[in-house]
Structure 1
Amino acid sequence: VTHLTNYHLAKFLEKHNDKNKLDDVLLKVENISKCESLHAFYNILWKYETKECFYCGKRLSDKRIATHVDHFIPWSYIQSDNMWNLVLSCQSCNTKKSNKLAKSVYLEKMFVRNDNLKLTAVHNDFNYYSERKLEALYEYAGMNGYVENWSP
């Protein structure tokens, strides 16, 4: 959907912009749909969460290279970095999960994790969070092509 939307936006911009400025405009459209650095989220999650991979339970290293921040519901679906959708994972799980949706057992685990994390009031993202919203996004992702229920 994002690629289709960006394609139509690019076609619109081609019609209404000077060809000399078009490359700059299209580059901005492309950059809108890129994931930002998750380093700030890593620091918060590392401070308040257990030091275990959300998926396999493996003890995480405090070396940033070995510990990843993963979008529970793939970023390619939500295209937003929300604390309530981010988890710490080992490099292996994050790489293997990639752009897949985790099995529903992890959704239940995510509810518990978010309840605990929201009590710390560490981030404003929880002002707009609800289990119902997360569950609906998870279900919609499953209905929109993210059907491979991944687990380690």
Structure 2
Amino acid sequence: AGARRNPLLQSEAVQGFALISPTFVYALILLVLPILVVIAHSFWTQNYLTIDHTFTMENYRIALTEPIYRDLLWRSLYISLTVSLLTVALAYPIAYFISFHGGRHKSLWLFLITIPFWTSYLLRVMSWKVILGYNGVLNSGLMGLGIISEPSDALLYNSTAVIITLT
């Protein structure tokens, strides 16, 4: 007669766990552990080239009370919230159109939308710099339409440019 197999090892739960465990270990080592290290370091202080492992909340006190850090935190939150809202506002109608009105061109639309993700982020940032720059496409267009008389630096190196680039 054949060998008896353990029914526990045959269960779908065990097989599913066996399939997902390498991914879980990978995520734990490369995602969770570095975050825990950063959190631990946030409660320590640095003395030039050494780290003092004494627990302290001083770093958080400085980050929340010093005006420069507080302003940077609020600016970062403002930019991230604005980019998130604009991305949803722009992406939702496009996704709606593709899902309900894409028809036989649905694959083409999806292909065209994914093209920017194939390019380097640095290349996209440099492209926006060309578009928004002093002698860029946008300034040239605004001068051609007579809206401005000379190129403007106001389109680059500010929060608006960051929001446009990230959206």
TM more than 0.5: no
Larger strand fraction of residues? 1
State TM-score, norm by structure 2. Answer: 0.26
Larger helix fraction of residues? 2
Q: Which has the higher contact order (CA 8 A, sep 6+)?
A: 1
State TM-score, norm by structure 1. Answer: 0.28
